[in-house]
Structure 1
Amino acid sequence: MLLLQAQQVARVFGSDVLFSNVNLDIKDNSRIALVGRNGAGKSTLLKMIIGETSPDQGQIVTKKDLTIGYLAQTANFESDKTVLQEMLDVFEPLKQMEIKMHHLEELISNPETAQDSEKYTQLLNQYDQLQHDFREQNGYGYENEVKAVLNGFQFPEEFYDKNVNDLSGGQKTRLTLAKLLLEKRDLLVLDEPTNHLDIATLSWLENYIQGYKGALLIVSHDRYFLDRIVNEVYEISHHKSNYFKGNYSDYIDQKASRLRTQWKEYEKQQVQINKLEDFVNKNLVRASTSKRAQSKRKQLEKIERIERPEGEEKGPHFTFKSASESGNIVLSVNDAAIGYENHIISSPINIDLRKHHVMAVVGPNGIGKSTLLKSVLGQIPFIKGESNFGSNVQTGYYDQGQQNLHSNKTVLNEIWDEHPNMPEVDVRSILGSFLFVGDDVQKVVHNLSGGEKARLLLTKLALQEDNFLILDEPTNHLDIDSREVLENAINTFTGTVLFVSHDRYFINKVADTVLELTPQGSNLYLGNYDYYIEKKEELEAIKQAQELENQPSIPENTNKLSQKQLDYKQSKEMQKKVRKLERQVNQAEEEMMKFSDQKDSIEQAMTLPENFNDLEKMQALQSELDQVKKLLNEAEETWTELSLELEEISE
């Protein structure tokens, strides 16, 4: 069933068009991501959808009595009630039903009622129906449901009696989302729902939201979250909307494939047009060929011109370089404890970070990840233990609090004051690569958005040319395109990186080791985020199997227990095999895309006049093309075999 439809909607500001002709369909089971650069108009479109504003053109059509829940980026949750009272208010209709049930119970148990059989039967039927409705709406379990959701959002019991107005901004945002989930609206519209959530809470939210019965429309920079939740993507780009079927990774692949196809069609038509134009220009004035030239000109006029494909919108582009090499050992931390005022929050912590490695630090909120980075830098002393840098290590630090900026300086002076010998034109050029162009460089730092401050900090970091980067939540405030540029910058960096991040997609892309912080200290995993999760699940499976083995044996239950252990182990082994196959399938897909691009590039080169008329060049290109086709066929065969195997296992 169609819940909501955006039909040719537009937002314009005078002669400036933010977006136009945007179409969007939301059905009762939709799982939709809305993506696009910062400033493309995503939040503006969401406000139209929830009815807060109206489109300048087009219309938003909704199903009758549609209920919508909306989470804004910044929740303004004001309430004099306690956390628990606020959540229980969602179930006020159930409370009233319960009161009515108790009232009916009193009437039914009254001796006078029993004497009137007709009234007694009527009350009994009314009570049965009410009890059925109460049970169907989880009347006997809603209090447990509230507590489960609060626990999932990291609100333990000691928060239940806390006043909502006394919560922090991040806690209010989490509480707003918790209440929206409990209200079970027909459509949930979520603008950056993963802000202020640690990895554990994100994982819980993903599992919970997958069972949500209503429709979802989500704006998020968390690509891992989108991959797990959505199956449709609407993109706002170049002031219009584009639709893609699948999750975020599917969208990236389809977008690249669609652009390649558009360029192929465009270039093919351009070759045809150029040939016709060339023939007309050469033959129109000749009497012997004039008629043919006129015919070709008519043919040319009838061609429906394909517009030049629009590439990626301009984004930041930068790299990290190191002015000198460090020694092989970059950082050593030995039996350290971190915390505040002699209160230890994690111990013992051990790190042996070598040159050229990228280490991600993960753990729940409050475990001390940022504290660890500051302790390594000497800003907060270790409670015990020590850390040491290796030889010739030069550190650059990205502070998530953005305290390394001077609020009263302009963007230009923030950079130029630290590099006074650099010509102004060079400073402006570097700032331009981070999207500070024209009058942007005269903006005062305290007036910048969070994303602009993040890009300015990265500008400063890139100019320092340090060989050891320590980054605290570097993807905060960055849009997806800027995150991808940062990923590429780290992946091509010849130095060493230690970073804290909640962005699991980002960790997967750049980290080769993961350091997990727990109250019991640090644990090292030699891989990316998916590897870390896989090994954690394996360790948990071993632990649970050992606990089952250590249970007191009961003769009559021996076979059942062994079978339970066996089933559990088999399930975990199957999950491991599926994840491995999924990685191999993705790798094969990337190989296919790479070889397909190479094939297209060679074939395009073979159509160029300078190559077409050169026999030696054509032979070399043909040889190269044959080799690439062979590799492409092998990749396709591998992908087919792996996909079939994955499909069989999944069934």
Structure 2
Amino acid sequence: MLQIKNLSITHKKDLRPLLDHFTFSLNSGDKAVIISEEGNGKSTLLKLIYDSRLVDSYVEYTGDILTQGTLMGYLPQEFPPEYKEQTIYTYCTSIPAFSDRNPGELAAIAARLRLPKDIFYSDQLCGTLSGGEKVKLQIAGLQMCQPDIYLLDEPSNDIDIETLEWLEQFINTCGKPVLYVSHDETLIEHTANVIIHLEQIMRKTQPRHTIVRMPYREYISNREASFLRQEQQAQNERREYRKKMERFRQIEQKVESQQNNISRQDPFTAKLLKKKMKAVKAQEHRFEREKEDMTEMPDAEKAIFVKITPETRIPNGKIVLDCQKERLMIEGRLLASPIFLRITGPEKIGIVGRNGAGKTTLLKQIAEELLARPDLKAAYMPQDYEELLNLEQNPVDFLSSRGDKEERTTIRTYLGSMRYTVDEMSHAIRELSGGQKAKLLFLKMSLDGCNVLILDEPTRNFSPLSGPVIRQVLKEYPGAIISISHDRKYLEEVVDTTYELTEQGLVKRN
């Protein structure tokens, strides 16, 4: 099916190795997930497997990728920008297999994805679709092609919970090997039987990869247990070694002292002490060899560190939002009616709903209102980060407000805690991964001391390794949060109250 032999990947700009002698076979029945911290090359690996031309501009690689005529279906992380101003029908006609499918087959694909049965013939512009609808449209295109292997880059991004559950079922039952990248821990737990873990150790100077054939939770549990065992064994060996060396130094010093004090009139004793010192030195060499053979201290990639200042606290009785709308509309189309939402104090609200229900439209309207309030310090994190980011700036410049040396030093410290390398701090933002861009917006909110966060899919680009950290920070955040999310762990661990946006308005879920 798919064989990768001794693949090494190096970033052209800073010569940072992303992958070193990676060998892997994707077999029938494999549902393999690639996990890593942000910026470690997950999407790059997936693109390289599909078409090396997608990465030629920014990485160099050696090794072999053997597909033996296998038809691969690739879902990119972002919807193709060249089709945003084109109709859905135009996009579909660009899919070679579209013309080979009869209307009944196309209607069946649409129904499985909870899309209108005539969606593929629509003259609606692709750019007006919600994020989830765009993902569904691309998944539909893959199903039309019926590939031998599915390569999916963040397939769970922006899709509603019902479609997420369908996606899990599809991955498990499609009968084809699947290699995918996802931030969604629940999706990974329910589907993956192969884990490919990419790491950057030794302060992000050395790549390391681990491939195991087991469920995700079992891998994480085994990894943590193994790390602790190795760390404990290494510490015990070093403790015993220090004790031995202390005793050895005492003996060595005693023999040296005796040698220094021996009388020249006692050559026999001097000869014995010289022989004894020779034995001591031989023992020192044995200790040196023992030190070389000690268990290594385990080196794992450091987790990100996020800190939000206590100044972000909001009083319990303060009315953050009192939203009363007769109707929610977009481009003359009624989405929901009526809308009522009242938030008091440090509440954490989650909004869910089907794709296209108007969640992002509602959140943008809420953001406009709260950002204009002088009694609040609100921040908005959109689904499309580029609405707020200047892609030509580097991360330090983006986060700088004064531009003085002290501020820039502080910013570099914060970026380092988010596991940016020194080189990445000077890269143009356009060169960063989606997760690294998301980190920038989180840092901006932290540095600005915001007490109300308005978040559209806040965890969508964080790896399953960073996700728990982000969720814990948001759970402990002392301000108010108004968010859209389909991340089931986020909704379970962070959110106090979940509302579903329906045509009849916001409905509180149990």
Taking structure 1 as the reference length, the TM-score comes to: 0.61
Q: What CA distance in whole angstroms lies between the structure 1 residues aligned with 2:427 and 2:90?
A: 42
| Distance 1:31-1:356 versus aligned 2 partners, 3 A rule | same
Offset of residue 219 of structure 1? 1.2
Tell me, yes or no, if structure 1 residue 10 matches structure 2 residue 14.
no
Q: What CA distance in whole angstroms lies between the structure 2 residues aligned with 1:37 and 1:74?
A: 19
SS of alignment partner, residue 2 of structure 2: strand
> Unpaired segments of 5 or more residues in structure 2?
201-206, 256-272
Q: What CA distance in whole angstroms lies between the structure 2 residues aligned with 1:45 and 1:519?
A: 41
Q: What CA distance in whole angstroms lies between the structure 1 residues aligned with 2:277 and 2:312?
A: 66
| Distance 1:512-1:186 versus aligned 2 partners, 3 A rule | same
Q: 1:251 is matched with which residue?
A: 219
Offset of residue 241 of structure 1? 1.1
Q: Percent identity?
A: 24
SS of alignment partner, residue 501 of structure 2: strand
Contact 1:233/1:243 (CA < 8 Å) preserved in 2? yes
Q: What CA distance in whole angstroms lies between the structure 2 residues aligned with 1:48 and 1:445?
A: 22
SS of alignment partner, residue 181 of structure 1: helix
Q: What CA distance in whole angstroms lies between the structure 2 residues aligned with 1:253 and 1:215?
A: 25
Tell me, yes or no, if structure 1 residue 368 matches structure 2 residue 358.
yes
Equivalent position amino acid for 1:23 in 2 = T
Taking structure 2 as the reference length, the TM-score comes to: 0.76
Q: 1:224 is matched with which residue?
A: 186
Q: 2:108 is matched with which residue?
A: 148
Moved more, 184-193 or 47-56: 47-56
Equivalent position amino acid for 1:317 in 2 = V
Pairwise CA RMSD: 4.1
Which of 115, 119, 131 is matched with 1:159 structurally? 119
Q: 1:215 is matched with which residue?
A: 177
Offset from partner CA, 1:322-368 (integer Å, 9 cap, x none): 35542425333357532247753112333343433321111122222
Offset of residue 517 of structure 1? 0.7
Whose relative contact order is higher, 1 or 2, with alpha carbons under 8 Å and at least 6 apart?
2
Q: What CA distance in whole angstroms lies between the structure 1 residues aligned with 2:410 and 2:63?
A: 46
Contact 1:68/1:185 (CA < 8 Å) preserved in 2? yes
Counterparts of 1:596-611 in structure 2 under 5 Å?
none
Q: What CA distance in whole angstroms lies between the structure 2 residues aligned with 1:25 and 1:401?
A: 35
Q: 2:265 is matched with which residue?
A: none
SS of alignment partner, residue 22 of structure 1: strand
Equivalent position amino acid for 2:154 in 1 = E
Q: What CA distance in whole angstroms lies between the structure 2 residues aligned with 1:292 and 1:250?
A: 49
Q: What CA distance in whole angstroms lies between the structure 2 residues aligned with 1:334 and 1:500?
A: 18
Q: 1:398 is matched with which residue?
A: 381
Q: 2:260 is matched with which residue?
A: none
Q: 1:69 is matched with which residue?
A: 73
> Unpaired segments of 5 or more residues in structure 1?
96-141, 381-387, 527-651
Q: 2:233 is matched with which residue?
A: 265
SS of alignment partner, residue 500 of structure 2: strand
The alignment covers a number of residue pairs equal to 466
Tell me, yes or no, if structure 1 residue 192 matches structure 2 residue 154.
yes
Offset of residue 264 of structure 1? 1.6
Q: What CA distance in whole angstroms lies between the structure 2 residues aligned with 1:4 and 1:414?
A: 41
Q: 1:35 is matched with which residue?
A: 35
Q: What CA distance in whole angstroms lies between the structure 2 residues aligned with 1:145 and 1:271?
A: 68
| Distance 1:344-1:44 versus aligned 2 partners, 3 A rule | closer
Equivalent position amino acid for 2:457 in 1 = E
Equivalent position amino acid for 1:271 in 2 = R
Q: 1:318 is matched with which residue?
A: 307
SS of alignment partner, residue 311 of structure 2: coil
Contact 1:318/1:485 (CA < 8 Å) preserved in 2? no
| Distance 1:65-1:343 versus aligned 2 partners, 3 A rule | closer
Q: 1:103 is matched with which residue?
A: none
Counterparts of 1:130-529 in structure 2 under 5 Å?
144-162=104-122, 167-168=126-127, 174-238=136-200, 239-284=207-252, 286=255, 287=273, 291=279, 294-295=282-283, 297-298=285-286, 300-301=288-289, 304-313=293-302, 315-323=304-312, 325-330=314-319, 331-334=321-324, 336-340=326-330, 343-379=333-369, 394-402=377-385, 403-405=387-389, 411-417=395-401, 423-434=407-418, 438=422, 450-526=434-510
Q: What CA distance in whole angstroms lies between the structure 2 residues aligned with 1:195 and 1:266?
A: 41
Equivalent position amino acid for 2:296 in 1 = E
Q: What CA distance in whole angstroms lies between the structure 1 residues aligned with 2:420 and 2:63?
A: 34
Offset of residue 226 of structure 1? 1.6
Q: What CA distance in whole angstroms lies between the structure 2 residues aligned with 1:357 and 1:47?
A: 41
Larger radius of gyration: 1
Q: What CA distance in whole angstroms lies between the structure 2 residues aligned with 1:18 and 1:441?
A: 17
Contact 2:106/2:117 (CA < 8 Å) preserved in 1? no
Q: What CA distance in whole angstroms lies between the structure 2 residues aligned with 1:377 and 1:40?
A: 33
